[in-house]
Chain A
Amino acid sequence: MFSTLTLPSPDAALPPVPDWLASCRADALRRLHDAAPPNSAAEEWRYSDVDDVELESVAFGAGPGPSVRVEGPALDGVTVGAASEFDGPAADSVAQALASTLDDGDPISLVSLVGLSDPLVIDVAPGRTVAEPIRVTIPVGDGIGAHTAAVVVRAGANSDVEVVVSSDGDDVESLEIVRIVVDVASAARVRIAEVCNVGSRVRRISSVVGRVERDASLSIAHAALGGAATRTRFDARLVGRGASGDLRAVYLGTGDQRHDLRTFQRHEAPDTSSNLVFKGALDGRSRAVYTGLIHVGHDARGTNATQSNRIIKLSDDTWAESVPNLEIHHNDVRCAHASAVGPIDEDQRFYLESRGVPPEVAERLVVAGFFEEVLGAFDRSGEGAALRSTVNERLGAGA
């Protein structure tokens, strides 16, 4: 995607933001200049299309103020604000949260910070249970160059919160770079539901990076439905004893869509657990890549981790790649992964057809059932029904 990437020089004039944010960006830019450019010969980019996205026109945000909207009334114990409003130690901690999630091996994470105008910060006070989900909308850019946005969610100890992130906007040719950083303090529970149903001309590169402390849990549900091409990266870093992570995603490819999903389950503390369930259905000439890693560190005694990626292929012209990896550095663990690629089960199709269900409807029903394990995770915030009908419509519209 980035063969033609040209970057502003490290001392280029960037829009006015507080000094700390500017230095954050300058640092990312320096690192980006040093980082190896994405190259399909490198393992990291092996299955990605790195040829047709141009980043020279990254739109460096227009100035202070988040490019992200939050819907709904103000909630007790929840502070929502633009990062540029922070200063002193509070600003330092935001800067730290942003910088700690960068990965020099992944230039996109650096680009997302370089081009960042002003992240939205959501702070949940310790002990606070937020009953209603917080809804965040990321507007799709205006079609001029790449557009970046970031959300930082920080859940205090023993708090409970759900954040629903959706992208919204016209179907214009644009490149969206979205970064969600989640800090989960001890015993807190955070759920992130992300719905990506952008138009068919939008390309989207996003990452959700979570750091989970002692006895806390982070659940991420992601639906990749729209877009010309998406690349989504999920990192769950379990750094405190007893932390847990749950990653679920559905991806539906129709037409010439490309979905590229990359996951990291990092177990860095004892007794941590993680579970990953990804399900994809591919129709038309769509392509999907899944690359995942479970990493169990030397200190992660008692880890329990699973990873499963399953793909149904609905058409002959689709292409699927699945690379679920394990790296285990401790013996007292339970780790399993599974991956399967196949057509619709003939028995299921036959059963439905023998009951008078027309073939194309039967196919949709089977896919709907297949997705249900993941779509159920969207019900709590009320997104489930809309997602189900979107899936149904898109499959009905055919390739």
Chain B
Amino acid sequence: MTEIDLDLSRYQLGWHDDVDYVFKPRRGLDEAIVREMSGMKGEPEWMLKRRLKSLRAFEKRPMPNWGGDMSEIYFDDIYYYIKPTDHQVDEWDDLPDAIKNTYEKLGIPEAERKYLAGVTAQFESEVVFHRNREDLEQLGIIFCDMDTALREYPELVKQYFGTVIPLNDNKFSALNSAVWSGGSFIYVPKGVKVDMPLQAYFRINTQNMGQFERTLIIADEGSEVHYIEGCSAPVYTSDSLHSAVVEIVIKPSARVTYTTIQNWSNNVFNLVTKRARVEAEGHMEWIDGNIGSRLTMKYPGCTLVGPKASGEVLSVAYAGPGQHQDTGAKMVHAAPETTSKVVSKSISKDGGRTSYRGLVHVDDGAYGCKSHVQCDALILDDDSVSDTYPYMEVGSKDAVIGHEATVSKIADEQLFYLQSRGLSEEQAMSMVVNGFIEPITRTLPMEYAVEWSRLIELQMEGSVG
């Protein structure tokens, strides 16, 4: 038996750059902090009011009594707002060296320069590096960070902000609405199709610093856009909180794909609210990969409000030692002939726990709806745990709603076959696991798919025992 103790976050991304922060307010959260934050950002009055209202909602709401163990989130021990540099920069070369180094280690420059479109790299709470491709601007696409959007397109932001996820939707969306900072804003005009995916990298880089980015994507009629969000964070000893809110507005016949690769270090609580509002014949696709964090609770949702709207969630979760991935999907069919599909694959190993938690709701009178949910779980050893909690609420008569789930270990026959072809047991396991999640990997852009397969391979090292 070979035990190679490999922890990915330590193995590959376990560095920590020292960055001088311009402003570092105290820990904890109260009205003064929110006012100070809003004032420093020079926000309009309505946003400040909203933040304060959200803060009250956050304070009032109890902690959720379901999902993972959140007893070690100490809200008073978190920095709610940090500004990494004193102003935003337009050129890559203008970035402080320490920040650039961090990105170098993530391999961003090569990947981006070769393949990718506009870059919004989120370092700490605010976007420090941001470059719009000229042709995006020519098409009328707005792609900037949320704070900039609030300054430059206040009307647009005011019209849509908080319309998909109300500020008091849940405790963590209320928290985010009170202290949000950074995140992306995208507006795609009518009929415009963006060929290249837009992407942003996120990174938490201060001990006990919560990151509360806020993303709003508006896809106007008949438009198409693919947004990619990738996360990685260095390892720290004390716990961090990441609580983002992502709202997507899909106008009739528009299509949005939102891809997330989440690889927070194993001390981060990742409690994220993501939801799309899909109008007639629109389509939303969430592709969600969760490999890092201590606890992730994330249930990307689609509220299908227009006839023939459709939603899809493809998710992969990997839970290693000490990790709990509580992920799933939420599909609300509020209009006739809407369809949804959820495919969830999870792998738990070395005491990790994966949970699928999902809801399919069909309103009374939403005739002709179809939904299918499929959850497959692999448990790689005796210590690991897998749960499935699907909820189905069906009001209309002719809705066709299905759910199926299987939980198993890797079949001995598969391992035997591969080993008889000369692969080591470890290689064989890694290959089976990669095959298991292939339906989702193949939907990723090429370089993400490669990175994802590699991450899985790394996690699988030392799995034979």
Contacts and interface: CB of A to CB of B under 8 A. Distances in A.
A328 B403 contact: no
A329 B385 CA distance: 4
Interface in B378-421: 379-382, 384-409
B404 A336 contact: yes
Contacts of B379: 328, 330-331, 333
A331 B404 CA distance: 19
B11 to A, nearest CB: 24
B336 to A, nearest CB: 13
Contact of B385 (A324, A327, A338, A339): A327
Interface of A is mostly: strand
B401 A342 contact: yes
Given A338-B404, A339-B403, A331 B382 contact: yes
A121 to B, nearest CB: 37
Interface stretch (A97-105, A312-320, A382-390): A312-320
Q: Which of A298, A321, A341, A343 has the most CB of B within 10 A?
A: A341
Contact of B408 (A319, A325, A335): A335
A339 B390 contact: yes
A48 interface: no
Contacts of A357: none
A340 B409 contact: no
B377 interface: yes
Given A320-B392, A335-B408, A326 B401 contact: no
Given A313-B397, A339-B392, A326 B403 contact: no
Contacts of B381: 331
Contact of B392 (A315, A316, A335, A341): A341
Given A43-B66, A337-B405, A319 B394 contact: yes
Contacts of B401: 339-342
A311 B386 CA distance: 26
Contact of B407 (A301, A319, A321, A326): A326
Interface residues of B, number: 34
Contacts of B385: 327-329
Q: Considering residues B387, B389, B407, which has the most beta carbons from chain A within 10 angstroms of its beta carbon?
A: B407
B377 A328 contact: yes
Interface residues of A, number: 34
A327 to B, nearest CB: 5
A322 interface: yes
A341 B390 contact: no
Nearest to B388: A326
A298 B402 CA distance: 30
A343 B384 contact: no
B394 to A, nearest CB: 5
Contact of B390 (A43, A301, A324, A334): A324
Contacts of B377: 328
Most central of B66, B388, B391, B397 by chain A CB within 10 Å: B397
Interface string A272-301: 000000000000000000000000001001
A314 to B, nearest CB: 8
A298 B377 CA distance: 17
Interface string A41-77: 0010000000000000000000000000000000000
Nearest to A346: B398
A325 B388 contact: yes
A328 B397 contact: no
A126 to B, nearest CB: 35
A311 B395 CA distance: 12
A336 B405 contact: yes
B398 A324 contact: no
Contacts of A335: 406-408
Given A331-B381, A332-B409, A337 B400 contact: no
Nearest to A325: B389
A144 interface: no
Contact of B404 (A43, A334, A337, A342): A337
B387 A327 contact: yes
Nearest to B376: A336
B403 A322 contact: yes
Contacts of A319: 364, 393-395
A35 interface: no
A323 interface: yes
B67 to A, nearest CB: 11
Given A325-B387, A336-B404, A339-B402, 4 more contacts: A323-B391, A326-B407, A328-B407, A342-B399
16 contacts: A43-B66, A316-B365, A319-B394, A320-B392, A321-B394, A322-B394, A324-B403, A326-B386, A327-B386, A328-B407, A330-B379, A336-B407, A339-B403, A340-B400, A340-B401, A343-B400
Nearest first, the 8 A-B pairs at minimum CB distance are A331-B379, A326-B388, A316-B397, A335-B407, A331-B409, A342-B400, A322-B392, A343-B398
